[in-house]
Amino acid sequence: MMSEVDIPEGIKVSTNAFHIPASKGLIAASRYARHLVVGSRGLSGLDAHFLGSVSRQIVNFAECNVTVVH
């Protein structure tokens, strides 16, 4: 649930919920977005190598600007 927040005038925020892998959904959403902001769990070493990184996939394949927050 998104709580009520003060959003500056001129900023448009939208939310959607889908039951698909996060990277696939966010990459698809990037086709319609001007900017995505995603979090990073900070996996490193073998975990990141074998499990992959959602934020890394989004950075590599998104069709808009992406900011990763750690």
Domain boundaries, the chain: 22-69
Amino acid at 29: A
Continuous H helices in the chain:
22-29, 45-51, 54-61
| Residues contacting residue 67 through CB under 8 Å, at least 6 positions apart | 35, 36, 37, 38
Distance CA 67, CA 48 (A): 19
Distance CA 56, CA 23 (A): 9
Q: What's residue 3's pLDDT?
A: 63
Backbone angles phi, psi at 61, to 5 degrees: -120, -5
* pLDDT tens-digit series, residues 38-66: 888 776 776 666 656 888 899 999 999 99
Please indicate whether residue 36 or residue 40 has the higher confidence score (pLDDT).
Answer: 36
Q: What's residue 27's pLDDT?
A: 96
